Amino acid sequence: MSDTPEQISPEEGDAAAPFDPSQHGIRVVELGDRTFYLLGTAHVSADSVTAVEDTIARGGVEHVCIEIDDGRFRSVQQKRDWSQLNIFEIIKRRQAFLLLSNLVLSSFQRRMGAGTGVTPGAEMIAAVHAARRAGVGYSFGDRPVAATLRRAWAKTGFWGKNKLMASMLASAFSREKITEDDLKKLQEQNELETMLQELADYLPSVKEVLIDERDQYLAQSIWEAPGSRVLAVVGAGHVPGIVRWLERLHRHHVDDAQTSPLVNKKDLEVIPPPGPVRKAVPFVIPAVVAGLILWGFFRGGLEGGLHSLLRWILVNGTLSAAGALAALAHPVTIVASFAAAPITSMNPTIGVGFVSGLLEALLRKPRVRDFENLNDDILSIRGVYRNRLTRILLVFLFSTIGSAIGTFVALPLLFPA
């Protein structure tokens, strides 16, 4: 294998001068009779767009593999249309957290783009258009974003989910401006390694899904691409991991003469079922709460039991209602959150967010302008609260978190004196 830059010779009809990969920091990986060119980009950088267009226009590559999935390509290419979104179905199907994660991610990317004047993912669109102009084949190599988000959510525990949402919300609504100089720093190896290490320490399961698994997935897609000279347009943070996996794929398929795939992309799209502990928790906690309340009746008589029951209702209901209030929910929704939380917390099949979210959607149905302005409203806290669609999601989220906190706060208070 060679990592040293080499000339990409132009083919007929391409640029007159050969292209030097070192000009754009392209990583060149030679494995057997195949050469892979890894062009690391920053997703909202004008320089990355130029590098992609220049590289493909000069010719010499037989196929371009792009770090994007088909669905995300369509949404980036044209302004996302939210008009067909049915918030009632989203909540009923327990996809509110997934939708909220998508909106937060979109907000974060658009905020970054606002600092540089470049649309998020512009270099990926540029790669497609440049490949078409050059008559070069191209393919989308990334895992569907929905699968990535759902796997990250499924692999993260309760407190990890809260940390993830807090981190995403903080990033989405930060007023810090992103400049081209900042993006250039993020493309440097040491800067990226530092960021990835911080993510691994903060949320290791999320880092595994967002970075490590996608390194494997992208490497397999690049390996499967036709041709002996393949250009991969990927985020700079994935380059080191992709190189390692390409080397492993080469050893697996060539040196070890293995026929079965080393990386199964379908397996990386499957949403893992909850483990036995996670399955048991929704049943164990209600059982503990019910046991403590019954113990209150046994040890303290009618008065002691009623005191325990009252504490459970007040603490759980109040904190859930406080969450709904923080989301500026309808007064009826706030009262319903208070009443529903102590009951839904004892039922593993339904959460208070299901009740509060649906009720808020009924009382304040999203208007046409809420869908039309969604792309802009998610860029600010004021916009999120003004838009009825996003406020429903906040009601769902905050009332759920409030009830969960209330459960843990109330538990020690249930022991009879």
How far is 356 from 320, CA to CA, in rounded Å? Answer: 10
Structure tokens at 371: 């869908």
- 205-213: average pLDDT: 83
Q: Which of 88-102, 330-344, 359-373, 377-391 has the highest mean pLDDT?
A: 330-344
Span 145-189, pLDDT tens digits: 888 878 887 877 766 666 666 666 665 555 555 555 655 555 554
Q: Is the pLDDT of residue 328 over 50?
A: yes
Q: In what order do the strands lie in the sheet with 137-140?
A: 27-31, 34-41, 229-235, 63-66, 137-140
Label the pairing between strands 27-31 and 63-66: unpaired
Largest CA distance in the chain: 93
Q: Which of 77-91, 224-238, 364-378 has the highest mean pLDDT?
A: 224-238
Q: Is the pLDDT of residue 111 over 70?
A: no
| Residue 9 one-letter amino acid | S
DSSP, residue by residue, 139-157: EE-SPPHHHHHHHHHHTS-
Q: Is the pLDDT of residue 57 over 80?
A: yes
Span 353-409, pLDDT tens digits: 999 999 999 999 888 788 877 777 777 788 889 989 889 989 998 999 899 899 889
pLDDT value at position 399? 93
- 63-69: average pLDDT: 92
pLDDT value at position 131? 94
pLDDT value at position 156? 75
What's the chain's average pLDDT?
A: 79
Reported as a pLDDT band with limits 50, 70 and 90, residue 76 is: low
- 286-315: average pLDDT: 86
Q: Is the pLDDT of residue 10 over 50?
A: no
pLDDT value at position 208? 84
Helix (H) or strand (E) holding 345, with range, is: none
- CB 239 within 8 Å of CB 27: yes
Q: Is the pLDDT of residue 326 over 90?
A: yes
Reported as a pLDDT band with limits 50, 70 and 90, residue 112 is: low
- 332-350: average pLDDT: 90
Q: Is the pLDDT of residue 78 over 80?
A: no
Q: Is the pLDDT of residue 82 over 80?
A: no
pLDDT value at position 199? 54
Reported as a pLDDT band with limits 50, 70 and 90, residue 198 is: low
Backbone torsions φ then ψ of 29, nearest 5 degrees: -125, 115
Q: Is the pLDDT of residue 1 over 50?
A: no
Please tell me whether the overall predicted TM-score, pTM, comes out greater than 0.75 for this model: no
- 50-69: average pLDDT: 90
- 310 CB-contact burial (10 Å; exposed 0-12 / middle 13-18 / buried 19+): exposed
Span 249-294, pLDDT tens digits: 998 887 766 667 788 899 999 988 877 877 777 788 888 888 888 8
pLDDT value at position 73? 82
Q: Is the pLDDT of residue 235 over 50?
A: yes
Closest by alpha carbon to 354, among 305, 301, 299, 392?
392
Percent above pLDDT 90 for the chain: 31
- 130-152: average pLDDT: 89
Q: Is the pLDDT of residue 14 over 50?
A: no
- Cα dihedral value 366, 360, 398, 96, nearest 10: -60
